[in-house]
Amino acid sequence: MENGKIAQGLGSVHASFYDLSSGFYTGLSTMELILASSSPIRAQLLAQAGIDFTALPARIDEEALRQSFTAEGLSPRDQADALAEMKALKLSNKHPQARVLGADQVLDHQGQALGKAADKHELAQQIQALQGSAHKLHSALVVYEAGQPVWRHVETVRMHMRPLSDGFIRAYVDAHWDKVQYCVGGYRIEAEGIILFDRIEGDIFAIQGMPLLPFINWLTIRQELTF
């Protein structure tokens, strides 16, 4: 799923944007950009927008943290924000010269946060619980510079899953497990997952875990991107 250009060396990482007059990307910021995520789709979306970056996983125990947050009564929305911040902070402490973008997404079903399914059986149970009802996806971005938060955003999308039979759910999980096992809710909206829904309220980028427009708007406000 990864395509576009992803810088490999921190020394060459910079934010860059498309120059309509020349047809090439021209750097408007000398600060290195690190995406604190191992998600291929997040990397793909940033690369397709013309932003150079290094993708580095923050390596936090997300499932243990989610369980802890749930025990503490943290809402699913706040869990997404906290996890994105923890990722950004961890890598910002390691790379204080860089701008670090932390990202996370939490599925909220009736006020309960759902994590990634451990196996096919658990995924089928999750989809059975979600079918015929609406759930929310909270997608969070947090930017750190020199160990300090400088910007954050959480975008919520409402997903309406159509009624699905047990037989369809089993067939879907068997056919797509290898591709969706890393996805919260067991679907990729840009691929086979679209057939599960009869209505979606919100931004497609947020569904994919990267609220790209607010991030670009923030860069514009900082005059790192001008029109």
Which position has the token pair 């609406």? Answer: 134
Question: pLDDT tens digits, the chain, 227 residues: what are they?
Answer: 233 333 333 333 333 444 433 333 344 556 899 999 988 999 999 999 988 899 999 989 888 898 899 899 999 999 999 999 999 999 999 999 999 999 999 999 999 998 889 999 999 999 999 999 999 999 999 999 999 999 999 999 999 999 999 999 999 999 999 999 988 899 999 999 999 999 999 999 999 999 999 999 999 998 877 77
Q: Which two tokens stand for residue 25?
A: 């990307």
Which position has the token pair 């402490």? Answer: 93
pTM, full prediction: 0.85
Paired sense of beta strands 197-201 and 32-36, if any: unpaired
Integer Cα distance of 178 and 146 in angstroms? 38
3-state secondary structure at position 137: strand
How many CB atoms are located within 10 Å of the residue 200 CB? 17
Domain locations in the chain as residue ranges: 10-221
- CATH number listed for the domain at residues 10-221: 3.90.950.10
Integer Cα distance of 96 and 126 in angstroms? 40
Catalytic residues: 104
Integer Cα distance of 138 and 61 in angstroms? 19
Q: Which two tokens stand for residue 21?
A: 């007059």
Integer Cα distance of 88 and 173 in angstroms? 33
Integer Cα distance of 46 and 110 in angstroms? 31
